[in-house]
Homo-oligomer: A and B are copies of this chain.
Amino acid sequence: MKREQIIYENQFNLETINKFASLMTVGNGYLGVRATHEEDYTEQTRGMYVAGIYNKALPNETSDLVNLPDLVGVKIKLNGQLFSLLDGEILSYERQLNLFNGELKREVMWMNKDGARFKFIFQRFVAKDKLHVLASKVTIISLDKEVNLQIVTGINAQQTNFGRQHIIEEKLRIFEEKYMQGIYTTTESGHTVALASSFLYPSESKVSYGAKNRQLQSTVDQKMVVGNPYVFEKVGTVFTSLNNIDVTDLDKLSLNSIKHYASQGYDLLLTESALKWKEFWEDKRIYIHSTNKFDQQAIDFALYQLEIMTPAHDERFSVGAKGLTGEGYKGHIFWDTEIFIKPFHLLNDPKIAKQLLRYRYLKLEQAKEKAIKNGYNGALFPWESAFSGEEETPEYAAINIKTGERQKVASALAEHHIVADIAYAVVNYYQATLDDEFMKKEGLALLKETSRFWISRATEENGKLVINNVIGPDEYTEHINNNAYTNYMAYYNVEQALYFMAMYEEVDNLLIKLCRDFLDRIYLPKPNGNNIIPQDDTFLDKPKIDLTSYKKRQGSQSILLEYSRKEVNEMQILKQADVVMLLYLFPDLFSKEVILDNLYYYEKHTIHDSSLSKAIHAIVAARCGETTIAYKLFKEACLIDLGPNPHSSDEGLHAASLGAIWLAIVYGFANISFKKDRLALNPELPAEWEEINFPIQYRRTKLIISLTRNEVNITRVFGPELVIEIGNQQYLLTQNININLSNFYVTKLRENTTTKGD
Residues of A within 8 A of B (CB): 14-15, 39-43, 57-58, 80-82, 84, 86-87, 157-160, 162-165, 168, 171-174, 187, 209-214, 216, 398-399, 401-402, 404
Contact = CB atoms under 8 A, between A and B. Distances in A.
A14 B14 CA distance: 19
Contacts of A159: 163
Contact of A171 (B58, B80, B81, B404): B404
A86 B43 CA distance: 14
Nearest to A174: B401
19 contacts: A14-B81, A39-B42, A40-B42, A41-B42, A58-B168, A84-B86, A86-B86, A86-B87, A157-B163, A158-B162, A160-B160, A163-B213, A171-B404, A173-B399, A173-B404, A174-B401, A210-B401, A211-B398, A212-B398
A490 to B, nearest CB: 35
Contacts of A57: 165
A39 B43 CA distance: 11
B87 A163 contact: no
Contacts of A210: 401
A157 B58 CA distance: 15
Main SS of the interface on chain A?
A: loop
A404 B252 CA distance: 13
Given A41-B42, A42-B40, A401 B158 contact: no
Given A14-B81, A158-B160, 20 more contacts: A14-B82, A40-B43, A41-B42, A42-B84, A57-B165, A58-B168, A86-B87, A157-B163, A158-B163, A160-B163, A160-B165, A162-B214, A163-B165, A164-B214, A171-B404, A172-B401, A173-B401, A173-B402, A174-B402, A209-B402
Contacts of A14: 81-82
A159 B162 CA distance: 9
A187 to B, nearest CB: 7
A114 to B, nearest CB: 13
B162 A15 contact: no
A216 B402 CA distance: 12
Contacts of A160: 158, 160, 163, 165
Contacts of A87: 86-87
A747 to B, nearest CB: 49
Contact of A399 (B15, B84, B172, B187): B172
Contacts of A39: 42
A277 B467 CA distance: 71
Contacts of A171: 399, 404
B40 A401 contact: no
A76 B160 CA distance: 25
Contacts of A173: 399, 401-402, 404
Contacts of A174: 401-402
A258 to B, nearest CB: 15
The 5 closest A-B pairs by CB, nearest first: A158-B163, A40-B42, A162-B213, A86-B86, A165-B165
Nearest to A171: B404
Contacts of A40: 42-43
B43 A82 contact: yes
Most buried by B among A43, A87, A157, A163: A163
Nearest to A61: B168
A75 B748 CA distance: 59
Nearest to A159: B163
B401 A15 contact: no
A168 B171 CA distance: 27
A362 B56 CA distance: 37
Nearest to A156: B163
Contacts of A172: 399, 401, 404
Contacts of A401: 172-174, 209-211, 216
A212 B187 CA distance: 23
A160 B159 CA distance: 10
Nearest to A161: B213
Nearest to A177: B402
A187 B187 CA distance: 13
Contacts of A211: 398-399, 401
A15 B187 contact: no
A87 B84 CA distance: 9
Nearest to A40: B42
A364 to B, nearest CB: 34
A214 B45 CA distance: 14
B399 A214 contact: no
Contacts of A399: 171-173, 211
A42 B38 CA distance: 12
A174 B400 CA distance: 9
A15 B80 contact: yes
A58 B187 CA distance: 8
B162 A164 contact: no
A397 to B, nearest CB: 11
Contact of A165 (B84, B164, B404): B164
Contacts of A214: 162-164
A168 B60 CA distance: 10
A12 B607 CA distance: 48
A92 to B, nearest CB: 16
Contacts of A15: 80, 82
A58 B58 CA distance: 12
Contacts of A162: 158, 213-214
A210 to B, nearest CB: 7
Nearest to A88: B86
Contacts of A402: 173-174, 209
A583 to B, nearest CB: 35
A216 B162 CA distance: 13
Nearest to A211: B401
Contacts of A168: 58
A646 to B, nearest CB: 9
Nearest to A44: B42
A380 to B, nearest CB: 30
A310 to B, nearest CB: 26
A213 B168 CA distance: 21
A164 B213 CA distance: 9
A31 to B, nearest CB: 21
A469 B214 CA distance: 32
Contacts of A404: 171-173
A209 B39 CA distance: 31
A628 to B, nearest CB: 35
A157 B174 CA distance: 34
A160 B161 CA distance: 11
